[in-house]
A and B are shown apart, each in its own frame.
Chain A
Amino acid sequence: MIPTGTNYINELVALYGKERTSLMPILQGIVARKNFISDQDMTEIAKELDLSAAQVYGTATFYSFLDTEPRGEYVIRVCKTITCDMHGKKTIVQALEDMLKIKAGETTPNKKFTLLETNCLGWCHEGPAMLINDVPYSGLTVEKVHDIISEYINK
């Protein structure tokens, strides 16, 4: 679920509880809400769950989808694993870079998009593929990428 208020950590703790097993859903909830987990978030969670900040940091930094640096509103993850690579991933990344005027790994100045490469997304039969936040797009071509991104730009 995506917390809505300013006290989003309290909201998430109220929903998932204070057990250690609650840590992942809480961290995932923060990413859903603001796209990344800040140092302050981690310290606050540690206090709430009675863990050390290092434990929270250790878990958060282990997972590639639990971003700990600022990300754009829409995080684009292009699959770079073998079959997507074979089927033209490079062209797709190039098209995205041209359109968004950033390099892979960067965020647009208006904080709307972050462009990343990622490991196998599980769409190998329809590569190249990408995720925009949670939504998968497969069978990508340069034209298709233009259409998809234009839609997001206008959102």
Chain B
Amino acid sequence: MSEQTLKRVDLIFGEYSNEKYKVLAQTVTKTNEEILKDLLDSGLRGRGGAGFPTAMKWKFTADAPGDEKFVVCNADEGEPGTFKDREILYRVPRKVFSGMAICGKVIGAKKGYMYLRGEYRFLLPALMKELDCYHEHAKALGLDFTIEIKMGSGAYICGEESALFESMEGSRGEPRNKPPYPTTSGFMKKPTVINNVETFVNVLMIMRLGAEQYRKLGTSDSRGSKVFSVSGDTPIPGIYELELGMPLDKFVEEFGDGDTKAVQVGGASGFCVPRKKFKDTIIGFEGVPTGGSMMIFNSSRSMYNVLHNYLEFFEEESCGQCTPCRVGCQQLLKGIRAVKKGEKKAVYLDQLMKLSESMKITAKCGLGQSVANSFSSIVNNFREEMIY
């Protein structure tokens, strides 16, 4: 069974076709229905972390009323421990632009944007060069779809889709209420498909291989491969493309240093899995989902320090718009410091846990809602380390 092994794949970073924009040229001869059917059959789910079915997102946007629609590529990769989009944009930008152009055709958009995080500005000259090449080929193909790059300026929250639109529109990157969703009201309040960098590459790979072939990778809930960013206490940190649906113990066997205590799956907003649960944890949408971040900690690491680092991160990156997140992050940080110093009793951790649960249901966006993921998974599994 594919479930039980760790398979390396070479899809995303595989070589370009011998002709520039060949797969794009082949794909635009298909009807939109054919393309959408391929995507649906492939089982592709968004690669940014949330895992929304890509075909559905595209179909909703295609069906949404309105003449003007947009395609946005979310390249605001800010999740701690994630660096795979940087590598994709560095090595295979052509595949990203091709995926965006296919999306533009399917939903009827004439304009696409890539929102690139400020920390990756050094990639801009090479990306602009590839864009010139794209525009030449698009023109030759009779494709009425242009792409522009917009820069971020160092705000983690702008990776949240509605905050990203606000930023593109020249405002503070504060998330909007949902609904309405981007499929009906995104950039400039127009129907918008916003996908992660890697998702667009997957689209292109599905067009190249066919849905049937693509489906053979991964498990029933998590089709395809995924680019993982592996860091922390590992002898081989780096970027790896692996089949989805692998068990965590196999992953640790391959990437750990023999003394792995815990793995943080999905970055600071993801889950911390302790050693005793490696065996029963599947990496994928049926288990613990991840945007690619896999941070490995060995037994020399204090999980208190890890949590403290995450909470400082969230406290700074919270946009401050809604009270649960703004105050919650501050209080969680103050709270664990107080327990550690002995100013508060250990049972205070339970109160903090309740606070994080409240944030989960009351915060406006994914940032505030997901602080509880790392908070409760670290405090539950490493309670002693929080106290002593």
Contacts and interface: CB of A to CB of B under 8 A. Distances in A.
B279 interface: no
A20 interface: yes
A25 B121 CA distance: 13
Interface stretch (B210-218, B227-235, B352-360): B227-235
Contacts of A27: 153
Contact of A25 (B117, B151, B305): B151
B86 A63 contact: no
B294 to A, nearest CB: 10
Contacts of B79: 120
Interface residues of B, number: 48
A21 interface: yes
A58 B83 contact: no
B153 A20 contact: no
Contacts of B77: 122
A120 B169 contact: no
Contacts of A80: 309
Interface string A30-48: 0100000000000000000
Contact of A86 (B117, B172, B301, B310): B301
A82 B295 contact: yes
Interface of B: 77-83, 86, 117-122, 150-156, 167-174, 229-233, 237-239, 268, 295, 301, 305-306, 309-310, 313, 316-317, 319
Given A124-B80, A124-B81, A136-B122, A86 B232 contact: yes
B118 A65 contact: yes
A47 to B, nearest CB: 16
Contact of B172 (A28, A31, A58): A58
Interface of A: 19-25, 27-28, 31, 55, 58-59, 62-66, 80-83, 85-86, 118-127, 131, 134-136
Given A81-B309, A126-B237, A127-B231, A24 B82 contact: no
Contacts of A134: 121-122
Given A24-B150, A28-B153, A82-B310, A122 B173 contact: no
A125 B296 CA distance: 11
A64 B319 CA distance: 12
